[in-house]
Amino acid sequence: MADIHFDYSIALEAIKYGIDGIRLNPGNIKKEKQIIQVVEEAQKKKVMIRFGINAGSLNKNIMEKYKEPNYLALVEETERLLEFLKKIDYQNIVISIKSSNVLDTIKANNIIAQKCDYPLHIGITEAGFDQSGIIKTTAGISILLYEGIGDTIRVSLTGDPVKEVLVGHDILKALGIRRSGLNLITCPTCGRCQVDIYEIAKKVESSLSDIRTPITVAIMGCIVNGPGEAKFADAGIAFSKKEAMLYRKGELIGRYNTKGAIAMLQKEIRGMSVE
Amino acid sequence: MADIHFDYSIALEAIKYGIDGIRLNPGNIKKEKQIIQVVEEAQKKKVMIRFGINAGSLNKNIMEKYKEPNYLALVEETERLLEFLKKIDYQNIVISIKSSNVLDTIKANNIIAQKCDYPLHIGITEAGFDQSGIIKTTAGISILLYEGIGDTIRVSLTGDPVKEVLVGHDILKALGIRRSGLNLITCPTCGRCQVDIYEIAKKVESSLSDIRTPITVAIMGCIVNGPGEAKFADAGIAFSKKEAMLYRKGELIGRYNTKGAIAMLQKEIRGMSVE
């Protein structure tokens, strides 16, 4: 996928060299003739084109009209694009409409999803980093996906791009769209808890991070919700004051001390993985 | 707020000692007589009662009917509670319906929100920890809040409870419900970027973490979306290949080298805070 700005001729070159997809920014590649030339070349080689509309690089005349890059400005730039797309005879098109503002992104995508059938690529652009970046991204993408909007996703976080992929994966897991690897159910450490659930859970997770089989694992610190969660997980431990109860698919299979329970849980999970 | 399980008499004691609120779990405090006694004492002292229904501790006969703690089981336990609440004359009631499963939590809250007007306390229980816990929590809470459901929120993460508050705060900020402190717009580090945006943004954030005035700050690595985002932030830097452009509320106020630009940005933001 080649992300092209300003100069359409780079898109032509990228297509010539066999790229799989082209992203064009209609905010800075504006001349219809140039876009048509890219579309024609893409069509010959069956290359997908994504038109990526971004709040940070909207057309000048749209910005003059709206004064700020709000969802109405995003919608109007997308509507102009849809008008243009009617004139061309190519369907291998994806549209993305992104803002760093979560609500503007959601509103603009909602409106455009009603107006066209092109696949939508969704994400919060320039979301930031670490906790607040992950939260903005998750809020935006998960609300849209829950509404049934969004065909591909992009997580845009400042920092190591590998992290972006892991965050996207966890969003899809949270919404039940993808199931892969451990799904950990662990309790907040409240007054009822006698063991260090955080350390135990981290240890279990990191020792089994290679597993791709979807396995729900509960690690619970007390007898209020512990046995209930542990029973309905594929494998689970519920700690009580005296001991740890180990469950396999709803069945109590043993009572152990803390250390023994962790080792047995790891063994259980490993046994359930099909790798 | 006293979180009471199993023994209703502890609730009575807590009310006697002047607690602000009581959480009762109808999954393990089941006797109507006992609950009525707690309600009567709460009423005398105007103490709020939250009935907290949790997938991990549902009533035995509901579990026998549904076999697993899915959203239908959560809904039926809540419906039984609503039947009971009709019999008492006390409105200082909050209901919470939680599961560690994001979709079950959303579906159950949607159904109950249609059936009653009690305030709903929302969250994903036993969500896990770190990245995946934050993502499950954000997905669940933000989808519900976006639908207009939820009057108070709870973030349940394994680990330091201070983190739970910070995550909740960031969820409310992402959805535009609360505005406080810096809202950072920073770009993913793509091929166009010539500086270490992650380090720069972390430095700016940590040096200004005491600020409570809502200030949108853009720190952008290139000229595609950089000037656009920086202009519409309260303060922003857009780095180009040669220099850094500093913006204040849409106006270009200077061009600097990297180090100078960071110092000037920090000064700008500090000047905008009203503390």
ipTM for this model: 0.93
To the nearest whole Å, the CA of A83 is away from the closest chain B CA by 24
Is-contact A2 A22, C-beta < 8 A?
yes
Residue in chain A nearest B193 by alpha carbon: A158
Return the bridge partners of A181, or none. none
CA atoms within 13 A on the CB side of A218: 34
Is-contact B51 B93, C-beta < 8 A?
yes
To the nearest whole Å, the CA of B150 is away from the closest chain A CA by 15
Interchain proximity B5–A187, CB inside 8 Å: no
Interchain proximity B189–A134, CB inside 8 Å: no
Structure tokens at A54: 């971004």
The answer to whether the pTM exceeds 0.90 is: yes
Would you say residue B173 has pLDDT above 80? yes
Residue in chain B nearest A132 by alpha carbon: B170
**Which residues on chain B are in Cβ contact (under 8 Å) with A6?**
224
Structure tokens at B42: 């709460």
pLDDT for B275 equals 66
> pLDDT averaged over consecutive 10-residue blocks of chain A (275 residues)?
94 97 92 95 97 92 93 97 94 97 98 97 95 97 98 95 95 95 89 87 94 94 84 91 91 93 95 87
**Which residues on chain B are in Cβ contact (under 8 Å) with A102?**
174-176
**Which residues on chain A are in Cβ contact (under 8 Å) with B225?**
54-57, 125-126
**Which residues on chain B are in Cβ contact (under 8 Å) with A130?**
202
Q: CB burial class (10 A; 0-12, 13-18, 19+) of residue A167?
A: buried
The secondary structure of residue A56, as a DSSP letter, is G
Would you say residue B64 has pLDDT above 80? yes
Interchain proximity B132–A56, CB inside 8 Å: no
pLDDT for B200 equals 94
pLDDT for B262 equals 95
Interchain proximity A174–B125, CB inside 8 Å: no
Is-contact B217 B263, C-beta < 8 A?
no
| Distance separating alpha carbons of residues B22 and A148, to the nearest angstrom | 38
Give the DSSP letter string of A202-260: HHHHHHTTT--S-EEEEEE-STTTHHHHHHHSSEEEEE-SS-EEEEETTEEEEEE-HHH
pLDDT for B231 equals 84
pLDDT in tens, B202-256: 999 999 999 999 999 999 988 888 888 888 899 999 998 889 999 999 899 999 9
Residue in chain A nearest B70 by alpha carbon: A232
**Which residues on chain B are in Cβ contact (under 8 Å) with A110?**
none
Interchain proximity A132–B170, CB inside 8 Å: yes
To the nearest whole Å, the CA of B196 is away from the closest chain A CA by 8
How high does pLDDT run on average in chain B? Answer: 94
pLDDT for B260 equals 93
**Which residues on chain B are in Cβ contact (under 8 Å) with A109?**
none
Residue in chain B nearest A226 by alpha carbon: B56
Assign 3-class secondary structure to chain B: CEEECCCHHHHHHHHHCCCCEEEECCCCCCCHHHHHHHHHHHHHCCCEEEEEEEHHHCCHHHHHHHCCCCHHHHHHHHHHHHHHHHHCCCCCEEEEEECCCHHHHHHHHHHHHHHCCCCEEECCCCECCHHHHHHHHHHHHHHHHHCCCCCEECCCCCCCHHHHHHHHHHHHHHCCCCCCCEEEEECCCCCCCCCCHHHHHHHHHHHCCCCCCCEEEEEECCCCCHHHHHHHCCEEEEECCCCEEEEECCEEEEEECHHHHHHHHHHHHHHHCCC
The total number of residues shown for chain B amounts to 275
